[in-house]
Structure 1
Amino acid sequence: MKRTETAFILCYTRTAQESEVYSEKLAYSMHLAYSEDGTSYTPLNDNSGVLFAKAVSNENETLTAKSLKNPYIFELKDGNYGVIAQRTEADGSKDQESVGSVLLFRSSNLIHYEELGQLNVKSDSYVEDAICYYEQERSVYVIHWRDEDGQYYKNTIDDLNLLDHATPPVKAEAFQLQGNKGLVKDANERNVIEIPQKLGTTIKNKLGRIYNHSVHVPKVIEAASLIELENIRATAIYSDGSTANKKVKWDTSAVDWERAGSYEIKGEAYQQFYRFPIASHRADPCMMYFQGSYYFIATDDTTAGNLRFFVRKADTIDGIEHAEEHLILDQNSYPELKMFFWAPEFHIIGDDLYLLFACSSGEFVDIRSQMMKLKPGGEPIKAEDWEKPIPVIKNDGSPLFTDGITLDMTYVEVDGGHYVLWAQRQFKPVDTGSWLYIATIDPIKPWQLTSDPVLISKPEYGWANNHTFVDEGPYAIIDQNYIYMTLSSALVNATYCVGMLRAARGANLLDPASWIKWNYPLLTSRSVEGEFGPGHNSYIEDREGNLLNVYHARPGLNAPRSTGIRRVHFDIDGEPVLYLTEEEDLNPELRSVASTLVIPER
């Protein structure tokens, strides 16, 4: 291939930093950088990992976190890509279960990966480094590796899926990689692979930053009134080829709407942005539009033990910031509900409005998912208009879970089905961490499951088990083709982050195989400057049709959890992007627009 038809991808790991900044579980993953000329490289995914080793499931259902080192990308015989690496313990030390083996992955696009498992190179020694390549002449893969004593060996294998079918190792010459050339700061650089330019562009668009690079309006606009003109939208075009419609504030001071003709007009493309934070000490936020008003609720972090829920009401979304708070539930409302009032969500289920939340009778291990129904004709800001909360139960009438806690329940209605998803953490007999479950419900009686709970996600990756094993906070974005389920993971500090599951519309959502999990998080402390530990999302559509991400983050490394709002962008593939800053969403230098307004004869 000619150089103009190719791009270059560098893989590397990073040097671990402070625990809340970039710990071993994040640093010891495969990172990628992109280059068009093979000389200057740009780190992708905000210089964060894109490929993580999966945790190991133990007999008692706990997980043991793993990391990887020395990743090496190679081309497969079918034109796809493989990655070979050494699996390590979470902190990068030797993995006792990885003696004599290397870890393999497959990818069609170097964005999403399938972990094939540990390939046995038939040695009693640790593999310290390895490369792999396909040898066309013999139609075999060659695994070339170095052991802990500095000796080099080779194996061959016909099919990388047959992990125990490698030939016995034979002594081999040493191999050398390019060595660190300082292409990426603080990187432990591995190899560079040359790829087709089209694939390189896809990788850059998916894992690089998307930004607005042009704004267009029609050259000629025909409108008979200001209302018709205001319905014309500007088209913002982004670096990956995606678009978004923007309202335009037109200057029509020189326009006589009673006189037909042509007028040269100017305007400014406009997007509503919200300062961060809009509410301090408010976490796990949720917003809804109901009966002509916007309502906001969140976990109250101002009291130890999270002892109450307040609701705000406003005519506009930005009005929520300074709206009055109304207490609707606290530790004095019911004897069985005393503390840990967590993660409230408004949902219309069937014909009724419900508040889904978690709460405890007083002990942490007693936290349970609850539903509270608004009385017919009720006002959500009035405590007396809510019925008594009901604990969620299984389809046989038994408690949802008795060996641990349940929390962060959400509701999804799609393709004629009604579902709840929630986080569940087992404590007895051992702490397994927080996992995500799904089940069906009947909207007539939504607090009782109509199917058995089904596990769909564990915190297997280093970004999800960073300091603690947690997948929680699910919330759905639904489009014509897919259900995107964002989730939050890791410890609720600056390491908190947002990941994603995806299922196809029409798939059996109770089949775990229907859900694909992204190997890397969508939103982290490295995504938006000054926002640490973003997570626990919910979504609402504004009056302009924009989907907004309502989330919490910290305005400083150790600052309180606080609520933010940001527009959700959809990339060239229709997948949600959660990080766009104001400048990336609508470039200030491109907002001025002009057109010819034609007022027709009446």
Structure 2
Amino acid sequence: MRNKLLLLSAILMFCASCQHRKTTQKEETVTGATYTNPLLENGAEPWAIFHEGKYYYTQGCEDRIQLWETDDISNLSNATIKEVWIPTDPSNSQHLWAPEIHRIDNKWYIYFTADDGNMDNHQIYVIENESASPMEGQFVMKGRIPTDKNNNWAIHASTFEHNGQRYMIWCGWQKRRIDIETQCIYIATMGNPWTLSSDRILISKPEYEWECQWVNPDGSKTAYPIHVNEAPQFIPSKNKDRLCIFYSASGSWTPYYCVGLLTADANADLLLPSSWKKSPNPVLQQQPDNRVYGPGGISFVPSPDGKEWYMLYHARKMPNDAPGASDSRSPRMQKIEWDKDGIPVLGIPDKDGVKYSLPSGTVHK
């Protein structure tokens, strides 16, 4: 009997030891292959491109453009950072919003918005770098991109190519603000990366209640009503038969800032307003239960092996920022899925600290 008890005890100890090793190994695997949001403590309007094994990331800044380089987009805090543009021209030296870096015809271009200190004078600019890496060489100013004959206010430029034609999409005013501001989404063809080759075409303007929120829950607000469609971002459907433009709506200082969606048939005339259909409801919005407010400013990046796609977005963990107050937004990243028609499904913004698996193909260091 004693021998049987000793044998049983040995077996139990062996099993416990195996279980401990399995648990420890699993915990180490989870710990070593995850990331959490936010990616950085502060930052809005996140954008990144993946090129030859590296991610190049930018975000909005007031007086300069910085570029992050990393092979792990979830680990921006340890990325290489370089200031690639500090303006010297007073007309475009302030409020450098929403920089986006693109690789076009073997050159690097960064599109951004800037003004002379008066935000009513915001315009779109583009800089160019001929080096193989955007972290090398120098960016030079190619100039302002006029968007209409009246030089209306314009921000948040993005660009994409479809069926051999390059397009620019952006946010602009239909006309100079008098007592109410309306920000709309426009599209135009491009003759080259710094020149439009068609008139601007309005494809979306604020019309639903969720696109027209400008007063915070605490009553703080801007000096006049501001209805917003801004920050357009292009991505094709999974099978390339539909084209999607995601955009941000309502005031960015409010918890109601959210993301809307425009879709068009891939064979449609993209300069025809009727080609674009707007979803009647937001596709990404605040989640008070998760303490995530005002999600928007999205862009899309692939995993290193191209098997997955992720959205970058900004949000805050407090309901709102008072207009003119310090910006409390921070950049985040979550994996997207696809619906039965191949349209991206953004999901809901999770609370800070949730562990996610690293994007497929990421080499954890």
TM-score, normalized by the shorter chain, greater than 0.5: yes
* Residue 564 in structure 1 maps to residue 324 in structure 2: no
**Alignment partner, residue 441 of structure 1:** 190
Alignment of 1:107-506 (within 5 A): 274-300=35-61, 306-331=62-87, 333-377=88-132, 379-381=133-135, 385-393=138-146, 400=148, 402=150, 404-425=152-173, 426-428=175-177, 431-442=180-191, 445-467=192-214, 468-479=226-237, 480-493=240-253, 494-506=255-267
Bigger RCO of structures 1 and 2 (CA < 8 A, at least 6 apart): 2
Alignment of 1:534-573 (within 5 A): 534-544=295-305, 545-558=307-320, 560-573=328-341
**Alignment partner, residue 67 of structure 1:** none
- RMSD over aligned CA atoms reads 2.7
Q: CA deviation at 1:587?
A: 12
User: Runs in 1 of length 4+ with deviation above 6 angstroms?
Assistant: 268-272
Q: CA deviation at 1:542?
A: 0.9
Contact 2:285/2:348 (8 A) holds in 1: no
SS at match of 1:470: strand
Greater helix content: 2
Q: Could you tell me the TM-score, scaled by structure 1's length?
A: 0.47
Q: Following the alignment from structure 1 to structure 2, what is the Cα–Cα distance between the partners of residues 549 and 270?
A: 22
Contact 2:287/2:348 (8 A) holds in 1: no
* Residue 532 in structure 1 maps to residue 287 in structure 2: no
Q: Could you tell me the TM-score, scaled by structure 2's length?
A: 0.76
Contact 1:293/1:315 (8 A) holds in 2: yes
Q: CA deviation at 1:289?
A: 1.4
Q: For 1:330, give the aligned amino acid.
A: I
* Residue 508 in structure 1 maps to residue 264 in structure 2: no
Q: CA deviation at 1:270?
A: 12
Q: Following the alignment from structure 1 to structure 2, what is the Cα–Cα distance between the partners of residues 543 and 322?
A: 17
Contact 1:404/1:428 (8 A) holds in 2: no
Greater strand content: 1
| Deviation readout 1:296-336 (Å, 9 max, x if unpaired) | 10013xxxxx22221111122123233243222235x3343
| Structure 2: gaps spanning 5 or more residues | 1-21, 23-28, 215-225, 322-327, 357-365
> How many pairs were matched up?
305
Q: For 2:329, give the aligned amino acid.
A: R
Cα gap change, 1:580 to 1:523, in 2 (>3 Å): closer
Cα gap change, 1:528 to 1:509, in 2 (>3 Å): farther
Q: CA deviation at 1:551?
A: 0.7
Cα gap change, 1:500 to 1:381, in 2 (>3 Å): same
Q: CA deviation at 1:431?
A: 4.1
SS at match of 2:44: strand
Q: CA deviation at 1:487?
A: 0.2
**Alignment partner, residue 522 of structure 1:** 283
| Structure 1: gaps spanning 5 or more residues | 1-250, 252-267, 301-305, 395-399, 589-602
Q: CA deviation at 1:567?
A: 0.7
Name the % identity.
26
Q: CA deviation at 1:282?
A: 0.8
Cα gap change, 1:580 to 1:433, in 2 (>3 Å): closer
Q: For 2:73, give the aligned amino acid.
A: I
Q: For 1:502, give the aligned amino acid.
A: T
Contact 2:212/2:228 (8 A) holds in 1: yes
Q: CA deviation at 1:284?
A: 0.6
Q: CA deviation at 1:402?
A: 3.7
Which entry has the higher C-alpha Rg, 1 or 2?
Answer: 1
| Deviation readout 1:339-387 (Å, 9 max, x if unpaired) | 110011112223322111101122212110111111233x3235x5111
